Amino acid sequence: MLGKHAPNGQQGITKRELIEALACFPDDAKIVVDGYENGFSAVSVVELVEVSHRPDRSCYDGEYQVADPECGAPLKVISIR
């Protein structure tokens, strides 16, 4: 199985790193994301969103949440769902 993980143990990857990671796969390969409970789901949305980094949140909530002005300046990230 071919695969690529975030470099140097960092959390997440950049757009450039994602493009580089995808370059080794066939151009017609489908892209899927984790399913809600298990399995996989087709990608239906790719968009730029503003979030707040909240590492204190429970793992099932995700460490990034919809931007909250009380948590500092929002981060612009690419969301793939």
DSSP the chain: ------GGG-SS--HHHHHHHHTTS-TT---EEE-SSSSEEE---EEEEEEEE-TTS-TTT-SEEE--GGGSSPEEEEEE-
In a domain, 60, yes or no: yes
Q: Is 44 helix (H, G, I), strand (E, B) or coil?
A: coil
Q: Is residue 17 part of a domain?
A: no
Show the DSSP H helices in the chain as ranges: 15-22
> Do the domain assignments include residue 81?
yes
Residue 55 clears pLDDT 70, i.e. is over it? yes
For residue 55, what are the domain limits?
A: 32-81
Number of domains in the chain: 1
Find residue 34's DSSP bridge partners: 40
The pLDDT mean for the chain works out to 89
Please check the confidence at residue 22 and state whether its pLDDT lies above 70.
Answer: yes
| pLDDT of 11 | 72
Q: What is the model's pLDDT at position 7?
A: 60
Residue 5 — very low, low, confident or very high, per pLDDT cuts 50/70/90? low
